[in-house]
């Protein structure tokens, strides 16, 4: 049996994606899922995401941007704190900060993120609002590897969500989040169990 991959999960808020991953590992077992969460990091204190980690008995760490003189120092600290747990994959589960060169130098090609739109359409912080404003009839979510652009890294998987006439931003976002949680759990498990390679823009899961 292949050794379970080590995951560090980064959060900024309520941690619902983290909970979905915790539940998946608990349901399938570490060997069945192929991965175990070894630590949870955050960019702020007092959030539900950290409370979920603590309830699960996981170590946590916090790197706040304001505690560092420069963004580069914060990025290096985050990279160091993450590296201490020797992760095979790092998962952004609603982590709302853009990482920098040091972090990507260590974890490029291993840092998984989700985005609430079908990339390359509607990148950036307002993917749901932008899709609605544009009049898109379908949108969805993307699981991708992070690179040094904004939502430009190689796409691993996508899930489609229909836009309904009565949708406002919050209603649409809630439906996207449901698909996003399932997709993230599926993708992380497959990456961990099967291995993968990145060929240019294409991610090939073995």
> CATH code for 5-107?
3.40.50.170
Say if residue 66 carries a ligand binding annotation. Answer: no
- Global pTM reads 0.96
| Catalytic residue set | 115
pLDDT of residue 2: 72
Phi, psi angles (nearest 5°) of residue 173: -65, -40
Question: Is 113 one of the annotated binding-site residues?
Answer: yes
- The span from the CA of 99 to the CA of 34, in Å, is 26
Sign of the CA dihedral 141, 91, 42, 67? negative
The pLDDT profile of the chain, 206 residues, written as one tens digit per residue, is 578 999 999 999 999 999 999 999 999 999 999 999 999 999 999 999 999 999 999 999 999 999 999 999 999 999 999 999 999 999 999 999 999 999 999 999 999 999 999 999 999 999 999 999 999 999 999 999 999 998 999 999 999 999 999 999 999 999 999 999 999 999 999 999 999 999 999 999 99
**194 marked as part of a ligand binding site:** no
Tokens encoding 32: 């069945």
């Amino acid at each position: 049996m292949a050794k379970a991959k080590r995951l560090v999960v980064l959060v900024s808020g309520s941690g619902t994606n983290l909970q979905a991953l915790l539940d998946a590992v608990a349901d399938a077992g570490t060997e069945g899922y192929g991965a175990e969460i070894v630590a949870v990091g955050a960019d702020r204190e007092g959030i539900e995401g950290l409370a979920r980690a603590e309830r699960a008995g996981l170590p946590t760490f916090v790197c706040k941007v304001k505690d560092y003189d420069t963004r580069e120092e914060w990025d290096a600290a985050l990279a160091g704190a993450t590296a201490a747990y020797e992760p095979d994959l790092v998962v952004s589960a609603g982590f709302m900060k853009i990482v920098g060169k040091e972090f990507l130098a260590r974890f490029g090609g291993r840092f998984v993120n989700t985005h609430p739109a079908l990339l390359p359409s509607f990148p950036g912080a307002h993917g749901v609002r932008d899709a609605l404003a544009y009049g898109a009839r379908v949108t969805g979510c993307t699981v991708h590897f992070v690179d040094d652009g904004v939502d430009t890294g190689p796409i691993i998987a996508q899930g489609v969500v229909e836009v309904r006439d009565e949708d406002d931003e919050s209603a649409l976002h809630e439906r996207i989040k449901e698909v996003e949680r399932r997709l993230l759990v599926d993708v992380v498990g497959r990456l961990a169990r099967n291995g993968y390679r990145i060929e240019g823009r294409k991610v090939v899961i073995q």
